[in-house]
């Protein structure tokens, strides 16, 4: 696969006009991570709604087209889903969003940074709210 | 065009086996020399020769192999010292520039830096000439301060003079920036620093591989360089230090070879430089570095410099023709080593590196271990093309075509 295939119109469009880019005024989840190799940076914020649904999700970041486009696409996919859904999101899902480009090991990290941030934030939130979610808590 | 006015580059290329390989079906255009250079066959042969003919430990073996290995290792030290105008006894073999600055941080810094002291470095340094001093300042309660830069990417000497009024204990500066290519007047900087009572450290990682260097003229207390950036093997480099300072310093690592006598309650130290070379040293790579120095000496370092200046001039002229090319650092090749850092429109350096790789072009992209400088440049990362003796105008032309291709893909 050539670089012309990696950098398809769709990825360039998300790079230059990222959807869900920005910060939320009110949010329940926030997470940030960087890729020290290239300095890619993604921060995500999520507002949790009724039934533990992702009501609003936004991200800010800096970095290469692959990291920024994949983060943006992922926020679109996540919006409206249950938090539990985040657990089963896989790298294959992210690659599919990007059109399954042949990225090579060093660029895969760029593609997966957004997923890592999303999972870090949501797992942290689910852990902290474990007692709320589970009324049969043996410690109660 | 395979000749500059200085070198027959085609002939030079034949000395480097790796340059025969193809990447993605294209000729390898290796422009990542500031990160590490390729190795000529004479260097590879020197390693093979050592391991296949006289591999043995140095200094303590009386047998033939041991004597041959010792002679070759000490001969490499003599070459490595002479190459930068230092006496052999003032050259300590280390893993590279990073280990050299860390050696100074521990073996000199622990004894000489106290609470409230000021240490000075600059905004254009590689992390290897920042982080050891940060750690030293933190452990001693000292403060690390930075010389600022001028808009053209040269040091702000006014800010340097101001910092000297604070009577710094240490001034650490690079002779040539690995990002901007800026060549600093380290002789003047060291003279002024010494007048203010400071000890001086000069980072030669990007200077020694690219132009003639004489530590006597610079007048610094410590000077560091890395073998792998000058056609030598990885894992070998040098710390050059003034003899009286090296003698006053405590050892860095304790162990074999660095001692004179060991008792149960104390030890006495071997003479310099051996005091700082604990354990079995990196014999093979030191010998390999000696071979690299022979190769560079035969080409002539003044000619290496002339060759690179021609390439910088040609590259800046050629690349400025590409719409969206933005260069960081001095435009004048007289003020600049063989490094061109740039950004290209809104194409992120990592995306650019991926596209160029497909054309067989190896460039560096990222923060180049100089994050404070990146912040000063107001960017997260840059792309960097850097030259050495086997590069020529044709490599610049391929790079230009690569940029144009990236421009087409990204619709710049």
DSSP letters, A28-75, are SEEEEEEETTTTEEEEEEEEEEGGGEEEEEEEEEES-HHHHHHHHHHH
Could you tell me if residue B35 is inside a domain?
Answer: no
> CB-based burial of residue A105 (10 Å sphere; 0-12 exposed, 13-18 middle, 19+ buried)?
exposed
CB contact at 8 A, A43 and A31: yes
Q: A89 and chain B: CB distance < 8 Å anywhere? A: no
Could you tell me if residue A132 is inside a domain?
Answer: no
Could you tell me if residue A105 is inside a domain?
Answer: yes
* Alpha-carbon span B53 to A6, nearest angstrom: 50
Q: B386 and chain A: CB distance < 8 Å anywhere? A: no
Q: Pick the closest to residue A115 from A136, A138, A94 (CA basis).
A: A94
CA B400 to chain CA mean position, Å:
27
CB contact at 8 A, B273 and B92: yes
Could you tell me if residue A138 is inside a domain?
Answer: no
Could you tell me if residue A79 is inside a domain?
Answer: yes
Q: Which domain holds residue A98?
A: 3-126
The b-or-e profile of B174-210 (16+ CB within 10 A means b, else e) is bbbbbbbbbbbebbebbebbeebebbbbbbbbbbbbb
* pLDDT at residue A140 in the model: 43
Q: Is there a single domain that holds both residue B322 and residue B387?
A: yes
Q: A39 and chain B: CB distance < 8 Å anywhere? A: yes
ipTM of the complex: 0.84
Q: Is there a single domain that holds both residue B258 and residue B386?
A: no
Q: Which residue in the set B348, B358, B409 is minimally distant from A63, CB to CB? A: B348
Q: At what angle do helices B41-49 and B283-299 cross, to 10 degrees?
A: 150
CB contact at 8 A, B203 and B124: no
How distant is the Cα of A134 from the closest Cα of chain B, in angstroms?
A: 44
Last residue of a domain, one of B229, B262, B297: B297
How distant is the Cα of A36 from the closest Cα of chain B, in angstroms?
A: 9
Chain A residues inside the 8 Å CB shell of B351? 7, 64-66
> CB-based burial of residue B387 (10 Å sphere; 0-12 exposed, 13-18 middle, 19+ buried)?
buried
Chain A residues inside the 8 Å CB shell of B358? 2-3
Q: B361 and chain A: CB distance < 8 Å anywhere? A: no
Return the sign of the alpha-carbon dihedral for residues B407, B325, B378, B175.
positive
Chain A's closest residue to B409, CA to CA, is A4
* pLDDT at residue B252 in the model: 95
CATH of residue A118's domain is 3.90.1010.10
Count structural domains, chain B: 2
Q: A109 and chain B: CB distance < 8 Å anywhere? A: no
Ranges of residues in chain B whose predicted pLDDT is under 50 = none
Residues in B 317-356 with any Cβ partner in A closer than 8 A? 346-351, 354-355
Bridge partners of residue B328, in order along the sequence: B341
Q: Do the Cβ atoms of B381 and A107 come within 8 Å?
A: no
Last residue of a domain, one of B282, B297, B312: B297
Last residue of a domain, one of B237, B262, B297: B297
* pLDDT at residue A103 in the model: 86
Could you tell me if residue B37 is inside a domain?
Answer: no
Q: Is there a single domain that holds both residue B274 and residue B326?
A: no
Q: Is there a single domain that holds both residue B306 and residue B224?
A: no
Q: Is the pLDDT of residue A104 over 90?
A: no
Q: Which residue in the set B346, B355, B381 is minimally distant from A38, CB to CB? A: B381
Q: Is there a single domain that holds both residue B291 and residue B304?
A: no
Q: Count contacts between A and B (CB, < 8 Å).
A: 45
Residue A115 CB neighbours (<10 A): 21
* Alpha-carbon span B31 to B88, nearest angstrom: 33
Q: A71 and chain B: CB distance < 8 Å anywhere? A: no
Chain B residues inside the 8 Å CB shell of A37? 366
* pLDDT at residue A35 in the model: 85
Count structural domains, chain A: 1
CATH of residue B133's domain is 3.40.640.10
Q: Is there a single domain that holds both residue B188 and residue B63?
A: yes
Q: Is the pLDDT of residue A1 over 60?
A: no
Q: Is there a single domain that holds both residue B140 and residue B215?
A: yes
Q: Tell me the residue ranges of DSSP E strands in B153-229.
A: 170-174, 199-203, 222-226
Task: Express each pLDDT in B133-191 by its tens digit.
Answer: 999 999 999 999 999 999 999 999 999 999 999 999 999 999 999 999 999 999 999 99
* pLDDT at residue B214 in the model: 98
Given the DSSP bridges, would you call strands B143-147 and B118-122 parallel, antiparallel or unpaired? Answer: parallel
Q: Which domain holds residue B394?
A: 9-30+300-409
Q: Do the Cβ atoms of B354 and A107 come within 8 Å?
A: yes
CATH of residue B393's domain is 3.90.1150.10
* Alpha-carbon span B360 to B371, nearest angstrom: 28
Could you tell me if residue B317 is inside a domain?
Answer: yes
First to last CA, chain A: 56
Chain B residues inside the 8 Å CB shell of A40? 350
Cis, peptide link before residue B273, omega less than 30° from 0? yes
* pLDDT at residue B314 in the model: 97
Q: Is there a single domain that holds both residue B118 and residue B163?
A: yes
Q: What 3-state class would DSSP assign to B341?
A: strand
Given the DSSP bridges, would you call strands B325-328 and B339-344 parallel, antiparallel or unpaired? Answer: antiparallel
Q: Which residue in the set B347, B354, B367 is minimally distant from A6, CB to CB? A: B354
Query: What does each C-alpha distance from B321 to A110, B69, B315, B332, B344 come to in angstroms?
Result: 31, 53, 10, 17, 12
Mean model confidence pLDDT for chain A: 90
Q: Is there a single domain that holds both residue B264 and residue B378?
A: no
Q: A7 and chain B: CB distance < 8 Å anywhere? A: yes
Q: A62 and chain B: CB distance < 8 Å anywhere? A: yes
Active site residues of B: 369
* Alpha-carbon span A125 to B6, nearest angstrom: 64
CB contact at 8 A, B286 and B235: no
Chain B's closest residue to A62, CA to CA, is B380
* pLDDT at residue B127 in the model: 95
Could you tell me if residue A32 is inside a domain?
Answer: yes
Q: Do the Cβ atoms of B351 and A66 come within 8 Å?
A: yes
Q: Is there a single domain that holds both residue B106 and residue B22?
A: no
Q: B174 and chain A: CB distance < 8 Å anywhere? A: no
Q: Is there a single domain that holds both residue B364 and residue B291?
A: no
Please name the residues in contact with B332: beta carbons below 8 A apart, sequence gap of 6 or more.
none
Could you tell me if residue B36 is inside a domain?
Answer: no
């Amino acid at each position: 696969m050539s670089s012309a295939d990696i950098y398809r119109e769709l990825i360039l469009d998300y790079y230059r006009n990222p959807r869900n880019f920005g910060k939320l005024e009110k949010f329940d989840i926030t997470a940030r991570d960087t890729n020290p190799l290239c300095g890619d940076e993604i921060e995500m914020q999520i507002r949790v709604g009724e039934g533990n649904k992702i009501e609003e999700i936004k991200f800010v970041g800096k970095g290469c087209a692959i990291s920024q486009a994949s983060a943006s696409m992922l926020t679109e996919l996540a919006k409206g889903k249950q938090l539990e859904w985040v657990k089963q999101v896989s790298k294959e899902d992210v690659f599919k969003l990007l059109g399954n480009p042949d990225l090579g090991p060093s660029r895969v990290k760029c593609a997966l940074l957004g997923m890592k941030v999303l999972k870090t934030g949501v797992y942290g939130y689910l852990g902290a709210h474990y007692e709320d979610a589970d009324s049969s808590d043996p410690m109660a | 065009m395979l000749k500059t006015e200085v070198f027959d580059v085609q002939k030079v290329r034949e000395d480097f086996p790796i340059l025969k390989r193809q990447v993605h079906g294209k000729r390898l255009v290796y422009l990542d020399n500031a990160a590490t250079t390729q190795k000529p066959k004479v260097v590879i042969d020197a390693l093979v020769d050592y391991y296949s003919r006289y591999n043995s430990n140095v200094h303590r073996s009386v047998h033939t192999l041991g004597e041959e290995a010792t002679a070759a290792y000490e001969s490499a030290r003599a070459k490595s010292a002479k190459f930068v105008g230092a006496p052999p006894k003032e050259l300590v073999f280390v893993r590279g520039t990073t280990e050299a600055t860390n050696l100074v941080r521990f073996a000199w810094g622990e004894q000489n830096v106290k609470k409230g002291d000021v240490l000075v470095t600059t905004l254009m340094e590689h992390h290897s000439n920042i982080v050891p001093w940060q750690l030293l300042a933190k452990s001693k309660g000292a403060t690390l301060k930075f010389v600022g830069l001028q808009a053209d990417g040269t040091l702000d000497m006014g800010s340097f003079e101001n910092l000297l009024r604070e009577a710094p204990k240490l001034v650490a500066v690079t002779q040539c920036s690995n990002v901007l290519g800026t060549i600093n007047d380290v002789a003047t900087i060291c003279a002024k620093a010494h007048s203010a009572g400071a000890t001086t450290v000069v980072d030669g990682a990007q200077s020694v591989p690219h132009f003639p260097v004489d530590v006597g003229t610079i007048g610094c207390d410590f000077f560091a360089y890395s073998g792998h950036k000058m056609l030598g093997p990885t894992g070998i480099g040098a710390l050059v230090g003034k003899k009286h300072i090296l003698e006053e310093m405590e050892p860095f690592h304790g162990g074999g070879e660095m001692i004179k006598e060991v008792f149960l309650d104390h030890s006495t130290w071997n003479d310099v430089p051996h005091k700082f070379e604990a354990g079995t040293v990196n014999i093979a790579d030191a010998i390999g570095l000696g071979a690299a120095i022979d190769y560079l000496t035969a080409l002539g370092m003044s000619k290496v410099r002339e060759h690179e200046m021609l390439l910088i001039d040609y590259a800046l002229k050629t690349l400025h023709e590409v719409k969206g090319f933005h260069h960081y650092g001095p435009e004048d090749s007289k003020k600049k080593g063989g490094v061109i850092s740039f950004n290209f429109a809104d194409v992120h350096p990592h995306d650019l590196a991926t596209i160029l790789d497909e054309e067989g072009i190896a460039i560096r992209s990222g923060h180049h271990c100089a994050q404070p400088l990146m912040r000063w440049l107001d960017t997260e990362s840059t792309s960097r093309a850097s030259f050495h003796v086997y590069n020529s105008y044709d490599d610049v032309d391929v790079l230009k075509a690569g940029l144009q291709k990236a421009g087409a893909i990204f619709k710049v």
